[in-house]
Amino acid sequence: MKRFKYKAKEKSTGKILKGVIQAEDEQTAGRLLIEQGYVPQSVVNEDSGLFGNKNRVTNKDRIMFTRQLSTLIGAGLPLATSLRTVIDQTQGKGMKQIAEEILTNVESGKSLYESFSAHPEVFNGVYTALIQAGEASGTLDIALKRLADQEEKDAAMLSKIKGALVYPAIILVVIIAVLAFMMIAVVPQVKDLYEDMGEELPGLTQGLVNLTDFFGNFWWLVLIIIAAIAGSIFYFVKYTPAGRKTIDSFKIHVPIFGSLFRKLYVSRFARTAEMMLATGVPMLESVQIAINATSNMVIEAEYSKALEPIKGGKALSEAFKDREYMLPLVPQMASIGEQSGKIDEMLGKAAQVYENELDEQINSISTMIEPILMVIMAGLIGVVVGGTLLPIYSLVNNVAQ
């Protein structure tokens, strides 16, 4: 169901009314208005805005919605009442709209699982599977709380990884800015100085002059090439399976950050499997959902090879033992859990270990990258300085002699 803003005239009074109506499309919305005794003047998709952007649902909005709904259901309020209360407290426009659609579906007789499943762009397979399991077992509030806790952990971990990349990005911007200033402001003056004195430029300085002249004369061409390359890469990565697979493979093999991403995916798999099993989802379905939750095509393809052995009766620990990209602690802890009957708890402990290691590794990478970037910056700036200041000193010495 979509929401449409309408402007319509009331047949009986001729009064102009404005409001919002839910329907499958514009034609259906117009027909509903006519049936209600209105003459539609305009019907516009509420999701449409400048450039056709939709109201985005942020992680924070989804987490808040999930936690509040869990609290209200756990307090014993009926589902519809809980949803209405959460809708009143929801600030995000996109989340509020989806919550209203969920309430409409629930009041029409649909299950909460069906209502959430109608919005796969917001609620992934992990989310809907836990909702379904929670409804079936009567532990919906617990399932929602686990979802909120897990989403908060994921958001915090991704925030730390992004934070580790912010400092290198700032340093690279500074390097580019300093080099650009030297090339634009200093190199031309050195060139003019040599020309005035009738001297020939040193090789390094001449190379910098040629580079500066090229960017000065063909800056538009450089921008076009950069835009074309960036656009091609973006389209390839965003909209083609081969591109997504390439970038996913790059993440787990890139130096320094590769091991970090592997631990992230393994911990995400173990944590999701723990939630699924603890909520009563069958083993095979839990593993399948946990594999999909990694959100990496290469990891998914490799982990999925363990599904057939599990179908054939093998234990999870055996199916994932020696599996590529699977870190050893997960099958080891799963084996202990299988023997003790607490496999969900053991998977959760394995996830916690790797989450702690991720924290430490992120801090170590941040510390390690700083001196590396400083060396790179010093080297690049040294080349430019060597091509500008040294020729000036050479001229001064020649004049003094």
Per-residue model confidence as pLDDT tens digits over 161-188: 777 777 777 877 887 887 788 778 777 7
Pair 225, 340 in one domain? yes
Pair 239, 115 in one domain? no
Pair 170, 63 in one domain? no
Q: What mean pLDDT, rounded, does the chain reach?
A: 82
Q: pLDDT at residue 401 above 60?
A: no
**% of the chain exceeding 70 in pLDDT:** 91
* Res 161: pLDDT: 74
Residue 105 belongs to some domain of the structure = yes
Q: pLDDT at residue 50 above 50?
A: no
Residue 132 belongs to some domain of the structure = no
Pair 243, 169 in one domain? yes
Separation CA 173–CA 57 (nearest Å): 31
Pair 113, 195 in one domain? no
Query: Distance of CA 202 to CAs 198, 290, 394, Å?
Result: 13, 62, 10
Separation CA 189–CA 169 (nearest Å): 30
Residue 37 belongs to some domain of the structure = yes
For the entire predicted model, the pTM comes to 0.68
Q: How many CB atoms lie within 10 A of CB 190?
A: 21
Average pLDDT over residues 94-117: 88
**CA torsion angle for 203, 204, 209, 212 (degrees, to 10)?**
150
Side chain identity at residue 300, one-letter code: E
* Res 399: pLDDT: 58
Contact in structure between 69 and 78 (CB atoms under 8 Å): no
Residue 74 belongs to some domain of the structure = yes
* Res 53: pLDDT: 46
Side chain identity at residue 244, one-letter code: R
Side chain identity at residue 219, one-letter code: W
* Res 94: pLDDT: 86
Pair 63, 48 in one domain? no
Compute φ and ψ for 245, nearest 5 degrees: -65, -40
Which residue bears the tokens 């363990």?
Answer: 306
Per the structure, the complete domain to which residue 217 belongs is given by: 149-401
Q: Which residues are bridge partners to 104 per DSSP?
A: none
Compute φ and ψ for 304, nearest 5 degrees: -65, -20
* The token pair that represents 119 in the structure block: 């919005």
Question: Within 13 Å, how many C-alpha atoms sit on residue 38's CB side?
Answer: 20
How many domains would you assign to the chain?
Answer: 3
Q: Which residues are bridge partners to 293 per DSSP?
A: none
Separation CA 320–CA 310 (nearest Å): 9
**% of the chain exceeding 90 in pLDDT:** 20
Pair 87, 189 in one domain? no
What value, to the nearest 5°, has the Cα angle with vertex 271 and ends 265 and 272?
90
Pair 97, 202 in one domain? no
Pair 214, 339 in one domain? yes
Pair 102, 28 in one domain? no
Q: Which residues are bridge partners to 45 per DSSP?
A: 4
Average pLDDT over residues 316-334: 90
Give the CATH number for residue 389. 1.20.81.30
Compute φ and ψ for 36, nearest 5 degrees: -85, 0
Pair 253, 352 in one domain? yes
* Residue 397 binned pLDDT confidence (cut-offs 50, 70, 90): low
Residue 237 belongs to some domain of the structure = yes
Burial-class residue 243 by CB neighbours within 10 Å (0-12, 13-18, 19+). middle
Residue 117 belongs to some domain of the structure = yes
* Residue 227 binned pLDDT confidence (cut-offs 50, 70, 90): very high
* The token pair that represents 327 in the structure block: 């870190």
Residue 166 belongs to some domain of the structure = yes
Determine the longest span between alpha carbons in the chain, in angstroms: 103
Separation CA 189–CA 317 (nearest Å): 69
Pair 222, 278 in one domain? yes
* The token pair that represents 19 in the structure block: 């409001």
Q: pLDDT at residue 391 above 50?
A: yes
Q: pLDDT at residue 199 above 70?
A: no
* Res 396: pLDDT: 64
* Res 170: pLDDT: 82
Residue 65 belongs to some domain of the structure = yes
